[in-house]
Structure 1
């Protein structure tokens, strides 16, 4: 997933590409900004606390979506008033809000709206252009360059000491043409820098690249396993800090996914085994930092990646008795179960599920026990309520008359 190492690398590359596209949009106006532009930027930076406070007060529903929309459109309008490109204003407001802890929630709230606008943009481009045999051939020519693009990304990422598996996955994720390329082409055509036929060519190439990339990324693990012998020769001798060897030490219980469910499971397991014998695994670096700060044993890593388990220095008789899969993503739990069994773990393996149809795939992947969160939460709540009621009644009975 996008939370794994290759996902974060892919997003980082896309962000750099998007920034380059926004800079191109900004300079494409060929106008000097107003002298007030510098003062506006300073005022917005000084008022950052106000924007983040407004975001906190917006809550979690429709008002948060409206806030994000106003920030994007309002930022664009304000920047245009001082001679700057509106796209740059929307980007600037995004940067101002990005450091706040609620920025992720805002991004998720705006995701559907962003996708809708992107579809509208593609539709408007499609209505402007008429494909011909010549433009179709040119688009197919660009599609033929995609393997070269992925190969270059793989070489670049592997030279930066990314493990070949992660480099291959990231290269596949980046193996399509970006919609920002289409936006840049549309601007170039509107300025007369390119003939209109190139808008048709790039539009078709972007759409076809998405159609090709989607099934390939769904089968990235199978594709890598076929190419693994050849790609492993390009493995860098040095490892990144997050790929160093790991120690199990005397851990008895592994908990994969240290969110709310995993943290609660850790507390219960610590009562039986002791805190030092519980080892958590979490790919979110912020969560890892929080748990380490609280004194818990947690390591950062993608447990669904088979290579992750081979980073452990496996003792002759490893003492892991139980592994709990507490990740919110069903596919991540299934892949982790498969990776664990392939690694050689033959102990108890338990997983949480949200829907009944998720149980059978996990069983086939080697999971022994499943816990349906939605089905069991009502019973747990009722038992807790009855226990509280019993304690309340017993305390009343023992009160002196």
Structure 2
């Protein structure tokens, strides 16, 4: 049975990738096809799906800063959107009741409110996958989207407590004690080294926190998220995240398959799901309007809103609880499953063209931007040094140091992570905050002063996007980039990048040259 899942997931995931769609869309299709062929989800598949979501939330926590959640644009944007969405969606559903639309006509006021609430959430799985695949987890819009999702997850936990009648145990107060043992936990993590114990440490903390929260009647996924945030400041947080990435992606295949196993649809149910999907553009417009009102730049507002324009897997949890409680019929579980699936597919397709669409329509979209901006969205004018290193990770910092040694004060770094920029600046490096995929950034600096741009970013898609923005801004200098594989190197050179270095082979050449210098006479 398990091989059948793997076969269909691989086949349809590969098919989706061949036609330039995310593999997750193929996994969704595989679940529905297997269900149609008579297969059923086993406990193994459900356990894999649950484990994937738990690991994903833990890894989100590892990348989160609590300061990001208390920003006005995050908590106010999330809660305001939820209140307005529920009111408008409730009115939309009741309008369909008046016109006696099938399945809607039988809904009571309470049932309509439950559906509106279930549809108010955006998909954590979908958004995180989008940001990871595009290398945008640490960008301004990536952090904003994740912050909105975390606030939604907190609201989700409160609903589950109210709906299931499971109040937190009196022993839940003991969880506060973990703040006092953080120094000992940090020392424990320090001792695990850099080998096979690193991923095991991640599993231990993620699943351990899950079980602890479940023991005191609090949803375990919240425990995994908070545990990640608890460990985020540790020096090994990034290493743990990278070690868990492949495991998380593998387990999430179970989640996408399980959606297809939720129920078998009929054509009428598919029609109802399509009607519900008509609300997705409103979700985008509402987010976009609120973010602009909160003084966020139009590009950030646009990209964040587009990524959040989908329905959440949490809607299925709400539906399942509502069916068990008699608030909704079984058919609604199928309809909501289809709505979630359709929204996943459309978000993945639309976001693929998001950067290009904004670039082509930025003059119109910028009209909605407020003149006064948040301090975080005001870019500092970079210096006039002719070499720019985009992406100040390990490779970028290595390139910057090498350039500084060869050509002092001729290079500066650029990164979309403001926290990293503050750290680099405090350590004497000439680094600036900015999003290289934002054409407005390049249009607002003196490109005629720049002779060379080094793209030290891990994602090939990022290289494409940044190169496209530079070309659109009429940049006349040279561009260099890194790639992990030869096919990526060839594709980037064909796209117009002047020099692409194979990360692995060039590292070997540099290692050999530096080492050989030790024995020169």
Instruction: Specify the alignment match of 2:109 in structure 1.
Output: none
The one of 382, 395, 399 aligned to 2:512: 382
Instruction: Specify the alignment match of 1:285 in structure 2.
Output: 418
Instruction: Specify the alignment match of 1:221 in structure 2.
Output: 355
The one of 140, 151, 158 aligned to 1:16: 151
TM-score (norm 2): 0.67
Inter-partner Cα distance in structure 2 for 1:269 and 1:385? 20
Which SS does the other structure have where 2:164 is aligned? coil
Change (3 A) 1:45 1:188: farther
Inter-partner Cα distance in structure 2 for 1:95 and 1:271? 37
Counterpart check, 1:250 vs 2:380: no
Q: Which moved more, 1:176-185 or 1:62-71?
A: 62-71
Alignment of 1:174-323 (within 5 A): 174-275=308-409, 277-312=410-445, 314=446, 318-323=448-453
Counterpart check, 1:78 vs 2:212: yes
Change (3 A) 1:115 1:357: closer
- Per-residue displacement from partner, 1:243-290 (whole Å, max 9, x unpaired)? 435434431222112222222222232234322x32211112232122
Instruction: Specify the alignment match of 2:138 in structure 1.
Output: 3
The one of 137, 140, 146 aligned to 2:280: 146
Instruction: Specify the alignment match of 2:35 in structure 1.
Output: none
Counterpart check, 1:340 vs 2:473: no
Inter-partner Cα distance in structure 1 for 2:432 and 2:361? 29
Instruction: Specify the alignment match of 2:189 in structure 1.
Output: 55
Which SS does the other structure have where 1:385 is aligned? helix
Counterpart check, 1:28 vs 2:158: no
How far did residue 325 of structure 1 move? 1.9
Alignment of 1:114-133 (within 5 A): 114-121=248-255, 123-124=257-258, 126-133=260-267
Change (3 A) 1:165 1:77: closer
- Per-residue displacement from partner, 1:182-226 (whole Å, max 9, x unpaired)? 223223333333332221111111111111111111111233345
How far did residue 179 of structure 1 move? 1.5
How far did residue 108 of structure 1 move? 4.1
Which SS does the other structure have where 1:323 is aligned? strand
Runs (5+) with no aligned partner, structure 1: 395-401
How far did residue 62 of structure 1 move? 4.6
How far did residue 76 of structure 1 move? 3.6
Change (3 A) 1:86 1:339: closer
Alignment of 1:362-401 (within 5 A): 362-390=492-520, 394=521
Change (3 A) 1:61 1:218: farther
Matched positions, count? 386
Change (3 A) 1:20 1:64: farther
Inter-partner Cα distance in structure 2 for 1:64 and 1:347? 42
Inter-partner Cα distance in structure 2 for 1:33 and 1:336? 48
Inter-partner Cα distance in structure 2 for 1:340 and 1:356? 24
Change (3 A) 1:263 1:226: closer
Instruction: Specify the alignment match of 1:354 in structure 2.
Output: 484
Inter-partner Cα distance in structure 2 for 1:219 and 1:125? 26
Inter-partner Cα distance in structure 1 for 2:188 and 2:512? 38
How far did residue 83 of structure 1 move? 4.3
When the two chains are superposed, the root-mean-square deviation of aligned CA atoms in Å is 2.7
How far did residue 174 of structure 1 move? 0.8
Change (3 A) 1:140 1:66: same
Inter-partner Cα distance in structure 2 for 1:13 and 1:158? 15
The one of 295, 302, 307 aligned to 1:168: 302
Which SS does the other structure have where 1:47 is aligned? helix
Which SS does the other structure have where 1:28 is aligned? helix
Q: Which moved more, 1:219-228 or 1:82-91?
A: 82-91
TM-score (norm 1): 0.86
Inter-partner Cα distance in structure 1 for 2:405 and 2:439? 30
Instruction: Specify the alignment match of 1:399 in structure 2.
Output: none
Q: Is the 8 A contact 1:157 1:167 kept in 2?
A: yes
Q: Is the 8 A contact 1:337 1:362 kept in 2?
A: no
Q: Which moved more, 1:93-102 or 1:168-177?
A: 93-102
Q: Is the 8 A contact 1:23 1:88 kept in 2?
A: no
